[in-house]
């Protein structure tokens, strides 16, 4: 694919200063798109930004992604985290990667280009497990992470299900679904005195915790094995540290 002709022909496109085989274009004042070739020169790495833009940060993300592109290009992984990224003045510690079917950046206008494009985005190490299915990665990328914002707060990976007999609030189905950390913290707090209630959650490492209130005691089971009694305050602290690890 002739990336140079294709990308340089986009409205307002220009070479990205300070990086070879890279382009920047802006379809409107709200969005800035920047892309660079991968190390094998056969794939495109693209960063889309909405709102405030930082060209230095984006350039460093693309350079970081290019250097480590063999870790995700052609691997079949739907979403992965390139840990160890640092940019002065930025809180992000990771470059996130989303596969073509997950981001869909060029799916409508140019499916062939979309198929060889990987989305890079500023991320935090707590957000991505690397085991996400295509459906899970799609939901995280498009609905939860706000990957096109350079000033966003972390959205840690947590999947949960729960049932509270006192509030009559519960999740749907038997599978754990993605949730906000605030939801996990709230439901852990509401376990207090709710006989027969439970909260089950999974962190990005795939570790599963199940907290249950029964017989006036709150007990937590770790990965279906170790069982430990905890106060609600201890339980909430566990929930916080568990998703921040």
Cα dihedral sign, 121-126-127-128: positive
Please give the residue that has the higher pLDDT: either 138 or 29. 138
Per-residue pLDDT, 48 = 98
Tell me phi and psi for residue 199, to 5 degrees: -135, 125
**Residue percentage of the chain with pLDDT more than 70:** 100
Per-residue pLDDT, 11 = 85
pLDDT, tens digit, 9 for 90 and up, residues 42-93: 999 999 999 999 999 999 999 999 999 999 999 999 999 999 999 999 999 9
Exposed e or buried b per residue across 9-21, where buried means at least 16 C-beta atoms within 10 angstroms of its C-beta: ebeebeebeebeb
Instruction: Give the mean pLDDT of 204-222.
Output: 95
**Residue percentage of the chain with pLDDT more than 90:** 94
Q: Cα–Cα distance between 81 and 98 in angstroms, integer?
A: 9
Instruction: Give the mean pLDDT of 131-142.
Output: 97
Residue 27 pLDDT class (50, 70, 90 cuts): confident
């Amino acid at each position: 694919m002739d990336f140079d002709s294709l990308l340089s022909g986009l409205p307002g496109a220009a070479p990205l200063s300070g990086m070879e085989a890279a382009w920047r274009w802006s379809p409107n004042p709200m969005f800035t798109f920047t892309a660079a070739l991968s190390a094998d020169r056969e794939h495109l790495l693209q960063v889309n930004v909405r709102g405030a833009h930082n060209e230095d940060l984006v350039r460093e993300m693309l350079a970081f992604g290019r250097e480590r592109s063999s870790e995700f290009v052609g691997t079949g992984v739907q979403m992965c985290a390139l840990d160890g990224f640092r940019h002065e003045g930025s809180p992000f510690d990771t470059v996130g990667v989303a596969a073509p079917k997950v981001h869909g950046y060029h799916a409508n206008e140019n499916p062939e280009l979309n198929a060889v494009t990987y989305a890079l985005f500023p991320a935090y190490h707590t957000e991505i497990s690397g085991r996400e299915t295509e459906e899970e990665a799609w939901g995280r990328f498009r609905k939860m992470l706000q990957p096109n914002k350079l000033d966003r707060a972390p959205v840690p990976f947590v999947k949960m299900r729960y049932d509270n007999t006192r509030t009559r609030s519960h999740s749907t189905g038997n599978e754990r679904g993605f949730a906000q950390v605030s939801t996990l913290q709230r439901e852990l707090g509401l376990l207090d005195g709710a006989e027969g209630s439970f909260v089950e959650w999974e962190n990005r490492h795939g570790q599963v915790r199940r907290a249950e209130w029964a017989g006036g005691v709150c007990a937590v089971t770790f990965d279906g094995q170790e069982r430990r009694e905890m106060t609600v305050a201890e339980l909430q602290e566990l929930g916080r540290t568990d998703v921040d690890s």
